[in-house]
Amino acid sequence: MVRVKKKVIAIVLTIALALSLMSFTACFGRGEGGKQYSQYTINAVWCDDEKTLSVEMELIYRNSYLVELSYLSLHLFPQAFREGAKYAAVTSSYEIQNAFPDGEVNYGTFSLKDVTIGGKAAKYRIEGVDENILTVDFPSPLMPTHTITIGITYTVRLPNIRHRFGWYGNTVNLGNFFPIAAVFENGEFHQDPYYSWGDPFFSAVAKFCVSITAPKNLIAAMSGLSEREELEGDTAITRAQIKRARDFAIVLGEFAVLEEEVDGILIRYYHTNCDEPEKNLQTAVDAINTFNELFGKYPYKSFSVVQTPFLHGGMEYPGLVMISDMLDGACFREVIIHETAHQWWYAVVGVNQVRHAWIDETLAEFSTTLFFEHNPEYGVTYEQRIASALSAYTLFADLYRHKPNFSTAMCRHLSEFRSAREYVYLTYVKGQIMMDALRAQIGADAVIQGMRYLYEQNKFGIVTPALFTAAFENASQRQLASFFDAWTSGTIQIFANP
């Protein structure tokens, strides 16, 4: 019986992938303003019985750099969820307990089946410090502005875990589920491994056309504007497209869905067990409206907020955010606001989250405070938020200041943080305090103008500490390099007690 069942499943997967591929044959064209980006076509089939995702992916990779390339490296983030990973997705005993609430650690697998270039077998290797990189060799050098078509077929078995990538109950989180092109910089591709704290992701914008076939009882929330089609039998296919996005995520679940269109943007709230769905949808609407007004227009056609099993509070992807079902009430809505802010600071204005994580987390957390200042009906003031940050940070600093090698430097590699707690306090909390100090120095209007400059001048690109500083210098007409350096390097110390 097992063999027959697997044979039937294989036939269904083949048919579904073929249908998906036909649907996206003419998906991609030239980007806005004549500019071209790399293009991902991803056709996935979810097998609920086996907890596996079968994927056929075509990447039309464009060399956007000024040098010829002889190979391409792609991140394999699912490898962090396998047994024996050197850089596991969860590490501390506290996180393991919350990530695996069923009491038993469960691992996933990544099985690469085929890699092609132009339809022919390609030379490739799995490398990196944790078998976390797929490197594909080109048959001849790829010149700047030229493209090459890479096909990748693989299957992943998802772990039973409350995380970005995994399943729990009837919900499936598909964050970072596909091989994604690494960024080329200083003569090499970034090959950083997965870190259990922070967001160890760094990628350039691309176009995505994605389909997922799954049982009809599962609704698919996706990055990009999605459409669902029910097929014969007990399956449905959901398709979505998004342009100029630096990643793509999907969540499958037995969701109820609320939606509202605002300024041409379809905002959807997906939930399974929520006491205040209308309030949560309204929070997403208010956040989009507020940040549109403060920083500049949200560029995508849709925005999805998804209540889902998740170890941490929330997680951002372009056009979609995950909010943990362990939260509720005002705390749940605060996380919606923070993750929505990441649509501006990470999704549109990119950052190397491995080496400069403080940039997008500082901006997202301070944007959350600005949201409350501009929406007094939520009952939280700017002053309360800053006072709470100062209280929490000084307590943290006083507790840890006498430990060996204690540092309050914000500008550091993810590997240099010693714990998830240190990461949070030095990127989120201290970052917000820094922005309040900047506001006291150059004024509230100049801070907002600086954030607008940062958004408009770095849209769909990658912002560095130097570009971050330049935006606020332009807004204030003041030299601020020494100010930001003092805060991010740890020169400025804040303690409650001498």
Q: Tens of pLDDT along 20-75?
A: 444 443 453 333 333 589 999 999 999 999 999 999 999 999 999 999 999 999 99
Angle at 169 between CA 165 and CA 171, to 5 degrees: 50
- Mapped onto helix, strand or coil, the DSSP state of residue 148 is strand
Decide: pTM greater than 0.85: yes
- For the cut 80, the answer to whether the pLDDT of residue 11 exceeds it is no
Residue 363 sits at φ, ψ, to 5 deg, of -65, -40
Q: What is the mean pLDDT of residues 7-19?
A: 42
Span of 23-32, 138-147, 353-362 with lowest mean pLDDT: 23-32
Q: What is the mean pLDDT of residues 251-274?
A: 96
Strands 302-308 and 320-324, bridge-based pairing: parallel
- For the cut 70, the answer to whether the pLDDT of residue 18 exceeds it is no
With beta carbons less than 8 A apart as the criterion, state whether 459 and 358 touch: no
In this predicted structure, what is the pLDDT of residue 126? 98
Host H or E run for residue 46: strand 38-47
In this predicted structure, what is the pLDDT of residue 402? 83
Q: How many CA atoms lie within 13 A of 415 on its CB side?
A: 4
Residue whose C-alpha is closest to residue 42's, from 164, 233, 185, 220: 220
Q: Which two tokens stand for residue 250?
A: 């999907």
Residue 477 sits at φ, ψ, to 5 deg, of 55, 40
Q: What is the mean pLDDT of residues 465-485?
A: 98
Span of 95-104, 153-162, 419-428, 432-441 with lowest mean pLDDT: 95-104
Q: Which two tokens stand for residue 172?
A: 């499936």
Which domains are seen in the chain, by residue range?
2-27+36-253 (2.60.40.1730), 255-344 (1.10.390.10), 357-489 (1.10.390.10)
Task: Report which residue type is found at 245.
Answer: A
Using left for φ > 0, alpha for ψ between -120 and 50, and beta otherwise, residue 81 falls in alpha
In this predicted structure, what is the pLDDT of residue 401? 85
In this predicted structure, what is the pLDDT of residue 427? 96
Q: What percent of the chain has pLDDT over 70?
A: 92
In this predicted structure, what is the pLDDT of residue 101? 81
CA distance 351 to 356: 7
In this predicted structure, what is the pLDDT of residue 31? 36
**Residue 308: count of CB within 10 angstroms of its CB:** 27
Residue whose C-alpha is closest to residue 239's, from 251, 253, 257, 224: 224
